Amino acid sequence: MARMFWLFANYMGHMLRTLTLSANNGPAGLPPLSQRLYDALTMLLRPTTLLLLATCYVVYRIVYKLAFSPLCRVPGPLRARVSSLPSLLECLTQCTNDVMVRDSRLYGSLFVMEPKKVAVCDVEDCRTILGSHAFAKAELYGNVDFMEPNIFLTRDAKLNSQRRRQIGPALNKAGLRRMEPTILAAGVQQLMSRWDSCVHQAAGARAQVNYYSDMTLMSFDIIASLGFGMEHRSLTTGDRTIGDWVEKTFALMILQMVVPAVKWWPLRRIVGAVLGKHVDAFFAFGKQAIERRKLALATASASAEPRPNDILQQFIDAEDPLNRIKMTSSQVITETIMIMLSGADTTSTSLAWTIHLLMLYPEHRQALVEQIRAAFGRDQLITYEMAREHLPLLEACIFESLRVCPVSTNLPRVVPKGGVTLQGHFIPGGYTLAVSTAACNYNPQYWPDPARFDPARFLRSNPDYDTNRHNLMTLSSGVRSCPGHQLVMVEMMTTLANILNRYDLELPADAHYGPHNLGADGLPTVMPRTNHIAMIPKHPERDCSVVVSMRP
Ligand code: HEM
C-alpha cells in the first residue's frame, strides 16, 4: 500500500510538473501559470506533503470517530469505528457467531461493529427491535432481483404481513398434523431404512454413518416432498439435483445482496452462466409441480378424491383472511423455494448440532435414551404428539442445543428516522443494528454458565422454563420471527426420538471431539463451525461420524 501510494504521489508530481512546464513554455499567447501557483502545487504534490495530508486526514477521522461521532460513547474496538473493512474481513474468514460471542464478552451487549453498525446482544433490546416493523430489514435484502418479492426478502411491512397470513396456516400445528405422515415418510422412516441397511451390511452389525450429510439430505427430502407434492428421496437414491439447485439459488441470492454489481453487465452474464441456469431450472421445476397439481386436482374433483395434504396444496389454496387475496402461481413457486432455502439446511444442521452435543455430554444422552426406551418399544414409530407427551427431556435437549449452537446468525435491521436509544446510547436513524442471536444466547445476564449444554434449563418442570423459552433467540422473535418453528420441532422431535430409540450411538475410536476433549473452561470442546446457509460444522466429514448399532 505504502509503495503504491509513493509511486502514485511521484507520478502525480511528475504529471503536474510536465503540464505546468508545457504551459509556461507553451505557444505564444497562452498566459504562463504564475510561478507561485506552480510552487504551491508542486509542494502540495510532493510525496511527503501528500503523506502528511493523508496522516492528518486519518488522525482527523480517528479523533472525530472517537470524540465526536454519534457512536463515540458506545463501546467497541477502534478499528470498527474507522472502517467497515475489518468487520467484513472477519465475516469472510471467521465464524460470525464465534466473533459475536467473543466481542460481546469483551465489550458488553452493545458495541460498535462498523462506523454505522452496532451489535445488539441483549435479549430485551433485541426483542424491542424485532418486535416492530419500524426496524425494517437492512437494504441488502432488497437487492435481490431474480425472484418475486417474498415473505423472507421483502422490506415492505404490508406485503410481509399479508404473506404471513397467507402461508401461516400451512405451517401451524393443525396444518402440520395433516402433513405429518409425509414428514415421517420422507424423514425419519427413510433415515431408519438407510441406517438399518447400513447396519445389516456392516461387519459386526456396527456401521459408521455421517449424520450431518444424512440429516441434510433428509431435510431436503421432507421440504421437497411437502413443497413440490412428489415423493423425493435423495437420501436413499443419491439424487442431489434439488439440493444443488437450492445451493446455487442461495449463492445467487447472497451474491446479489452483498455485491449488487453482479446484477449489471458484464458480471450479470458471467454469474448467469455459472448460477443462473440452475436457478432457472429450479423455478421451471416449481412451475411444473404446480401445473401437475392443477391437472391432478381437476381429475380428482371429477372422482371426488380428497385434496393432497402438503405445503404445495396449502399454498395454492391459501388466501389472506382479511381480503381473500390468493397467491398467483409464480408467488406460490417463489414462496415454496424460499421455504426450501430458509427451512431445509437450518433444520438439518440444528439436528446435527443436537446429536453432536449429545455425543459430547453422554450423561444427558443416557438419561434421554432411558426416557425414550421406557416409553416406547424398539419398533414403534414415535409421532410428534407421542414425543411431546412422553419426552420432556427430548424437547429440553433440542431447545438447549438451539441455544448453544444456533444456526442463525446476525439479523440486520435499520434504525428508523428519529433514531433509537439503547442502553443509554443514542443511535441515529439509518444506522444498522446487527441483532446477534448467538451473543444473546450466550449473554450471562440471561444464561448462567452459558457455554454449558444444560438441558435442565428447558425442562417444563423448571420454574424458569417460560422465561428461558421467551429468551431463546435462535428462531428470532417478533413480527418477522421464524414461521417454520413448528415444523422445526416436528422434524427434530420425530427424528431424534426414533433414532435414539432404535439405535445405540457411539463415537468412532478416532473421534477428535468428545467428552475426552475438554477446553480451558473444563467443558467438552464443540467442533468448529463456519458460515454457510446456516452455521454449519467446519469439517463435517471428519467430525460428524457416529457408529450405529441396533439397540438390544
Ligand atoms: C432450526 C431451524 C430454523 C432456524 C434456526 C430458523 C431461524 C430463522 C430466523 C432467525 C429467522 C429471521 C430471519 C431474519 O429476520 O432475517 C427466520 C425467518 C424465516 N424462517 Fe426460519 N428457521 C428455521 C427453520 C425454518 C423452517 C423449517 C422454515 C419453513 C418451513 C422457515 C421459514 C422461515 C421464513 C419463511 C422466514 C422469514 C420470515 C419473515 O421474514 O417474515 N424456517 N428463521
Query: pLDDT tens digits for 393-405?
Result: 999 999 999 999 9
Kindly state the helix (H) or strand (E) to which residue 256 belongs, with its residue range.
helix 241-258
What pLDDT was estimated at residue 369? Answer: 98
Q: What is the mean pLDDT of residues 149-159?
A: 98
pLDDT band at 440 (very low <50, low <70, confident <90, very high): very high
ipTM: 0.99
Burial status of residue 460 (CB atoms within 10 A of its CB: 0-12, 13-18, 19 or more): exposed
Interacting residues of 230 by C-beta distance below 8 A, sequence separation 6+? 224, 289
Distance of alpha carbon 286 from alpha carbon 114, whole angstroms: 40
Query: pLDDT tens digits for 229-274?
Result: 989 999 999 999 999 999 999 999 999 999 999 988 899 899 989 9
Q: What is the mean pLDDT of residues 315-320?
A: 96
Indicate the SS3 state at residue 217. helix
Q: Which range scores top for mean pLDDT: 62-71, 236-245, 537-546?
A: 537-546
Q: 138 C-alpha to center of ligand 1: Å? A: 16
Q: 354 C-alpha to center of ligand 1: Å? A: 18
What pLDDT was estimated at residue 14? Answer: 61
**How many CB atoms within 10 Å of residue 371?**
17
Q: What is the mean pLDDT of residues 335-364?
A: 97
In this structure, the dihedral spanned by the alpha carbons of residues 73, 77, 82 and 87, taken in order and rounded to 10 degrees, is -130
Cell numbers that stand for 513 in this block: 471431539
Amino acid at 467: T
For the CA of 406, the closest atom of ligand 1 is 5
Domains of the chain by range and CATH? 123-550 (1.10.630.10)
What pLDDT was estimated at residue 26? Answer: 46
pLDDT band at 64 (very low <50, low <70, confident <90, very high): confident
For the CA of 171, the closest atom of ligand 1 is 30
| Residue 104 DSSP code | H
In 3D space, the residue among 531, 548, 528, 547 whose CA is nearest the CA of residue 539 turns out to be 528
In 3D space, the residue among 527, 530, 532 whose CA is nearest the CA of residue 542 turns out to be 527
Task: Quote the mean pLDDT of the chain.
Answer: 93
Query: pLDDT tens digits for 417-435?
Result: 999 999 999 999 999 999 9
Q: Is the pLDDT of residue 218 over 50?
A: yes
Interacting residues of 256 by C-beta distance below 8 A, sequence separation 6+? 143, 144, 145, 146, 262, 263
Cell numbers that stand for 236 in this block: 436413499
**Nearest protein CA to atom 11 of ligand 1, as residue:** 482
What pLDDT was estimated at residue 304? Answer: 72
Which residues does a 6 A CB cutoff place in the pocket of ligand 1? 151-152, 160, 164, 171, 338-339, 342-343, 346-347, 350, 407-408, 411, 437, 474-476, 480, 482-484, 487-488
Interacting residues of 180 by C-beta distance below 8 A, sequence separation 6+? 383, 384, 490, 494
